[in-house]
Amino acid sequence: MADKSVLSRRDFLKVMGAAGFSASLPLLPQPKGSKDISKTGQELDSAGWAPRPFWVKKASEPTIEIDWEKIQRFDARSTVLNSDNFANLVGEERVKLLASTKADNEQKRILANMPGYTLKDYALHAASLSQINKGRSFLGLRQTATPQDRGVPDWSGSQDEAARILRVAMRHFGAANVGFVELNENTRKLIYSFDPDGKELVFEDVPQAYETDEKRAIPLSAKWAIVYAVQMSGETIRSAPTITATQTETLSYHRGKVIQNSTQEFLRGLGYQCLGQSSPNALGITPAFGVLAGLGELSRLNRVITPEFGPIVRLFLMITDLPVTTDQPIDAGIMRFCRTCKKCAEVCPASALSYADEPTWQVKGSWNNPGHKAYYEDSVKCYTYWQEQAGSECSICFSVCPFSNKDKAWVHPLAKATISLLPVTDGFLRTMDDAFSYGAQEDPTNWWYLNLPEYGVDSDPFS
C-alpha cells in the first residue's frame, strides 16, 4: 500500500495549482456592481456575515457525528473547574497539597524574577481577572429604555435583517464572529440542567424570563441561541504556559462580559429579551453551539478551532426571543487535519490529550457529555498540571496548533486552503509546521517590548 504521507507528482501539481489560484485571487476583478470596499470595509451578506475564504464550505451536518438520542442536559457543576467536583475526583488532601504547591511556586518564581512569572506578570493577570464576574447577569443590567418606555412599537423586521443588525452590533461591541442556532427539541439539550453556581435552568411557558434563588427560567419563546467568539492575543499565547499567556485568556472573559452586557441592552432597546451567562462558561455547552453555528469545527483539543483565528478564541453564549436567521455548520478540513496532526497531544505536558487516530463515542470521565464523537481529554490531568506545575492556565495546545499561525506570509492562508481541499497533504503540512518551528514558545520577557494592537489581536483574520 502506498504511503499516503508522501505526495505523488500529481498531488504536488494539485497543490501548486491551488497555490497559483490562491495567489491570483487578489488580482481577479471584482464582480460587476460590487462596491469598492477598500474604504467602507468588507461588504456583508443579507444576514451580516463578512466574506469567508472559498475553502470554508457550509455543511448540512457538523464534521463530528452526533447521536441526539444519547445527549442529555449536562450539569455544569460536574466540570473539573468546579472546585467541589475537582475535590470529589482527586480528594480533599490532594486539593490542599496542590493549593500549597501553587502558592509556594508563585512566591519562588516572583523572587527569582522568572520570565513569564515576574511580579508585573502576576499584577497584569490579576488586573485582567478582576472584572470577570462583576456586572454580569442572566437577565442583564436592564438600564436601557424599552420601546414601551418610549411609547413606540417594538422593532420589527425580517429574520435576515434581525441577524444582520445583531451581528453588526455585536461585532461593533467587540465580538470576532457571531452565529445563531435555533433551540429545538435536540439543541435545548445543550443548555445546562444546572449552572455552575447550582441554580437550575428550566424552560417554561412564560412571557418573561425570571430568576429566583433556586432557578433561572427561560421562556419557550426564547428560541434562538447566540454564540460569539472573542479573540485572544496569539502573540501573548505563544509564551504559554506562563502567567503572561494566561492573562490574555482572562482578559477575553472580561471582554466577553462587556459584549454580553451591551448586547442585552441593545436587544432590550429593541423590545426583546436576551439571557446571558451568569458567570464565565455558564448557561450551556458553548463549543457545541459554536460548531452548530459554523464558527468553527471541533478538534483534537476537544475545543472549537475557527478558520479565522484557529483556537485562539473564547466562545460565549446568550439566548434571545428575537427571531433571527440561523447558521449552518462548516467544513474547512479542520477536524480531518486533526486526525493526522496530533501535535497538541505530542506536546501536552500533562498527557491529557488523545493520541487516537479516530474520535470516539467513549467519554473520558463524568466531566464530558456523551452523545457525540470526539477526542475526549483527561481534564483531571490537565487541571492538576495547571495547579501543580504551570501555576497558570496552560494553553500550550492552543499555542502549537498549526491553525494558530498568523504570520503575514502568503503561505499560511494557502496552507489552510490546501488542508481543506487536499487531505493527502495533511501529513506533509504538519511536517512543514515542525520544520519552521511554528508554535515554539516565545520568551515571555520580550512580550513587554512588543508593539501590539488593541487587546493584542489582529483585526484582519486572513492576513
Give pLDDT tens digits for 19-48.
444 444 333 333 333 344 334 456 888 888
391, 117 Cβ separation under 8 angstroms? yes
What is the rounded distance in angstroms from the CA atom of residue 403 to the CA atom of residue 334?
Answer: 8
355, 345 Cβ separation under 8 angstroms? yes
Rounded to 5 degrees, what angle do the CA atoms 189, 195, 198 make?
130
Three-class SS state of 177:
strand
What is the rounded distance in angstroms from the CA atom of residue 316 to the CA atom of residue 417?
Answer: 27
pLDDT of res. 390: 77
pLDDT of res. 428: 66
C-alpha cell at 326: 440561523
192, 225 Cβ separation under 8 angstroms? no
Q: How many Å separate Cα 72 from the centre of its chain?
A: 22
pLDDT of res. 417: 72
pLDDT of res. 287: 96
Helices (H), 74-158: 83-90, 92-111, 119-129, 147-150
Nearest residue to 50 via CA among 230, 234, 179:
179
pLDDT of res. 407: 52
pLDDT of res. 252: 94
Nearest residue to 258 via CA among 233, 282, 271, 276:
276
442, 239 Cβ separation under 8 angstroms? yes
pLDDT of res. 31: 37
The DSSP element (H or E) to which 219 belongs, if any, is strand 215-219
Q: What is the pLDDT along the chain (463 residues), one digit of tens a residue?
A: 344 333 443 443 344 444 444 444 333 333 333 344 334 456 888 888 988 888 899 999 999 999 999 999 999 999 999 999 999 999 999 999 999 999 999 999 999 999 999 999 999 989 988 878 888 999 999 999 999 999 999 999 999 999 999 999 999 999 999 999 999 999 999 999 999 999 999 999 999 999 999 999 999 999 999 999 999 999 999 999 999 999 999 999 999 999 999 999 999 999 999 999 999 899 999 999 999 999 999 999 999 999 999 999 999 999 999 999 999 999 999 999 999 999 999 999 999 999 999 999 999 999 999 999 999 999 999 999 998 887 888 999 999 999 988 654 445 666 677 777 777 776 766 676 666 566 677 888 898 888 888 888 876 654 4
Cα→Cα distances 159→48, 167, 186, 381, Å: 11, 12, 22, 44
User: Which pTM does this prediction carry?
Assistant: 0.88
**313-320 vs 224-231, strand pairing mode:** antiparallel
What is the rounded distance in angstroms from the CA atom of residue 318 to the CA atom of residue 70?
Answer: 24
pLDDT of res. 129: 85
pLDDT of res. 32: 38
The DSSP element (H or E) to which 288 belongs, if any, is helix 286-292
Q: Helices 119-129 and 92-111, interaxial angle, to 10°?
A: 130
What is the rounded distance in angstroms from the CA atom of residue 320 to the CA atom of residue 159?
Answer: 13
C-alpha cell at 75: 450539569
